[in-house]
């Protein structure tokens, strides 16, 4: 992506910088009267989260206060040391990280299976203790591995984790990413491939992260795909196309219609805002996105 704040670098250092929040702190000041204050009344058909890496210049505590004031219920893609920070403000971490070997080294390559299994099994008890029930995972890059080989290897590796995931009531959620713009050579770059993997793993403890931004780039047909395959989707991400910018009328996706399609499936999970704010006031961009998705 055309920015220095990449998802890949954020996964390596999710804590972000210590830069001070420069936007006016009116929301923060309003919230400060009570850490347990409720956010604004939203319609609530869609439970909303936000991805931490998109706001890495804002200290996490400040972002948590702002998120609560806006009406968000979660800040995600956080590691174990960060979960208590958002929980202090009455938020959850709808999709944690903290296990695995990054985006490029995933379950499609058996040479990583032992390390991946050990990494995820180590974090399952921590998730359960923190009251969390999901964690992100990745297919990995192809590196010459065919789609069928990748399916076989991912199935074998993930099945090794299902008993432990069931024991701790944790759902592994594999992200679908585009391999055209942002993640060259990534294998889980089509929804049909991911759905087939879900069928082969055969467990309710394995689902897909249907990233709307990425899948619009790779295949389009967003609403029809959601209606057809929603039972395999455990989480959703937003993002403006082109450029992963604000999800307003400057881009090509109709997010209110997409949110209605998600809600109509009976989805009970989270939709996370994962766009890169282009405006000087990043929190204003986030607030607008929450309102757009609050159908």
The H or E element that residue 293 is part of is helix 282-293
- CATH number of the domain residue 102 falls in: 3.20.20.150
Contact 28, 65 (CB under 8 A): yes
Tell me, yes or no, whether 91 lies in a domain: yes
Report the pLDDT averaged over residues 81-108: 98
| Nearest of 271, 286, 243 to residue 57 by alpha carbon | 286
- Residue 271 pairs with which residues in a beta bridge? 48, 236
Q: Is residue 11 part of a domain?
A: no
Residue 1 lies in a domain: no
- Strand 74-76 vs strand 134-137: parallel, antiparallel, or unpaired? unpaired
Q: For residues 223 and 28, what is the distance between their CA atoms, to the nearest angstrom?
A: 36
Query: Which two tokens mark 81?
Result: 């040391």
Are 271 and 232 a contacting pair, CB within 8 Å? no
Q: How far apart are CA 114 and CA 201, in angstroms?
A: 18
Residue 204 backbone phi and psi in degrees, to 5: -70, -10
Chain-centre distance of CA 138, in angstroms? 12
Q: What whole-number distance in Å separates Cα of residue 69 and Cα of residue 155?
A: 41
This model's pTM is above 0.85: yes
* Tens digit of each residue's pLDDT (9 = 90 or more) over 17-66: 333 333 333 333 333 333 444 456 789 899 999 999 999 999 999 999 99
DSSP track, 179-202: TTTTSTTBS--SHHHHHHHHHHH-
pLDDT at position 24 is 39
Asked if residue 208 lies in contact with residue 194, where contact means CB atoms within 8 angstroms, the answer is: yes
Does residue 239 belong to any structural domain of this protein? yes
C-alpha gyration radius of the chain:
18
Residue 114 has pLDDT above 50, yes or no: yes
In this predicted model, what pLDDT tens digit does every residue of 166-201 receive, in sequence order? 999 999 999 999 999 999 999 999 999 999 999 999
**Unique residue bearing structure tokens 């450029």:** 243
- The tokens of 16 are what? 């972000």
Is residue 215 in a domain? yes
SS3 243: coil
Q: Is there a domain that residue 231 lies in?
A: yes
What is the pLDDT at residue 187? 98
Q: Is residue 8 part of a domain?
A: no
Lookup: tokens for 119? 């990494």
Q: What percent of the chain has pLDDT above 90?
A: 85
What's residue 16's pLDDT? 36
251: number of CA atoms within 13 Å, CB side? 21
At 140 the pLDDT is 98
Tell me what the mean pLDDT of segment 261-286 comes to. Answer: 97
Q: Kindly tell me if the per-residue pLDDT of 147 is higher than 70.
A: yes
Tokens of 50: 């936000």
Tokens, residue 286: 């986030």
At 18 the three-state DSSP class reads coil
Verify cis geometry, omega within 30 degrees of 0, for the bond prior to 284.
no
22 within some domain: no
Range of the domain at 62: 40-293
Number of domains in the chain: 1
């Amino acid at each position: 992506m055309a920015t220095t704040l990449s998802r890949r670098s954020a996964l390596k250092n999710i804590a972000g910088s210590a830069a001070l929040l420069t936007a006016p702190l009116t929301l923060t000041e309003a919230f400060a009267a009570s850490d347990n204050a409720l956010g604004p009344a939203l319609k609530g058909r869609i439970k909303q989260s936000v991805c931490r890496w998109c706001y890495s210049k804002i200290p996490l505590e400040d972002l948590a206060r702002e998120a609560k004031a806006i009406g968000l219920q979660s800040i995600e893609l956080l590691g174990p040391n960060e979960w208590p920070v958002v929980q202090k403000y009455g938020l959850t971490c709808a999709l944690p990280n903290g296990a695995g070997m990054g985006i490029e080294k995933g379950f499609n390559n058996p040479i990583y299976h032992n390390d991946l299994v050990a990494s995820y099994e180590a974090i399952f008890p921590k998730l359960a203790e923190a009251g969390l029930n999901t964690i992100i995972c990745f297919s990995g890059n192809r590196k010459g591995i065919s789609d069928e080989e990748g399916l076989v290897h991912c199935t074998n590796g993930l099945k090794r984790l299902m008993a432990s995931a069931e024991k701790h009531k944790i759902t592994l959620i594999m992200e679908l990413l585009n391999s055209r713009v942002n993640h060259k050579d990534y294998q889980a770059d089509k929804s049909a491939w991911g759905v087939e993997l879900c069928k082969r793993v055969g467990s309710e403890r394995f689902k897909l992260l249907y990233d709307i931004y990425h899948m619009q780039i790779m295949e389009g047909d967003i609403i029809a795909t959601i209606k057809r395959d929603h039972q395999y989707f455990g989480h959703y991400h937003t993002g403006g196309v082109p450029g992963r910018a604000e999800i307003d009328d400057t881009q090509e996706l109709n997010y209110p219609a997409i949110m209605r399609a998600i809600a109509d499936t009976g989805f009970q999970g989270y939709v996370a805002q994962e766009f890169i704010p282009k405006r000087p006031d990043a929190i204003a961009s986030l607030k607008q996105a929450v309102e757009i998705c609050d159908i």
